[in-house]
């Protein structure tokens, strides 16, 4: 970073607004190209800095910082998109309560159980009862889901 005592006003305004370097090409934040590339929008979206035409701070950004800003913005958008997809998927996997009828041997039991909705109508393939826990394997699903409930005889 350049020390303030080494700068005059012209040198100060030529500094990069983000890294304070003064070498290399710089893009003016408020020019036509920056507007087309949405530089000000990306700055305001990604960084907590306040940037205004009326402040007395440099209005240019070096190419290195422009590249970093655009990468940060793209990464932020990707993270938000992933978050949305995951939240929608989690919403579709809401816990639902259902009554599952199991039959094993000569006995028939009805269990009130809570399980995760898988998305398509998977079929119960088998049940093994151990204590108060029933283990359910669903077709098309590799995991065993444990349904804890109270068994009642018919």
Closest by Cα among 106, 139, 101, 136 to 120: 139
CA distances from 77 to 36, 46, 73, 132 (A): 18, 10, 6, 47
**At how many degrees (to 10) do helices 39-46 and 63-92 cross?**
60
**Is 46 known to sit in a ligand binding site?**
no
Q: What share of the chain is helix, strand, coil (3-state, %, to 5)?
A: 35, 30, 35
**Is 147 known to sit in a ligand binding site?**
no
**Is 65 known to sit in a ligand binding site?**
yes
**Is 79 known to sit in a ligand binding site?**
no
Q: How would you write 101-147 as a 3-class SS string?
A: EEEECCEEEEEEEEEECCCCCCCEEEEEEECCEEEEEECCCCCEEEE
Binding residues: 16, 19, 62, 65
Binding residues for Zn(2+): 16, 19, 62, 65
């Amino acid at each position: 970073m350049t020390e303030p005592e080494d700068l005059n006003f012209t040198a100060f305004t030529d500094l990069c607004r983000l890294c304070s370097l003064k070498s290399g090409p710089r893009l003016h934040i408020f020019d036509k190209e920056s507007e087309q590339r949405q530089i000000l929008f990306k700055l305001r979206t990604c960084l907590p800095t306040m940037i205004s035409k009326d402040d007395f701070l440099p209005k240019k950004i070096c190419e290195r910082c422009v590249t970093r800003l655009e990468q940060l913005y793209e990464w932020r958008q990707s993270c938000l998109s992933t978050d949305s997809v995951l939240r929608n998927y989690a919403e579709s996997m809401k816990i639902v309560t259902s009554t599952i009828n199991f039959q094993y041997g000569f006995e028939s039991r009805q269990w009130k159980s809570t399980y995760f909705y898988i998305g398509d109508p998977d079929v119960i393939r088998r049940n093994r009862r151990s204590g108060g826990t029933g283990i359910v394997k669903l077709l098309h699903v590799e995991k065993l889901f444990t349904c804890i409930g109270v068994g009642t005889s018919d």
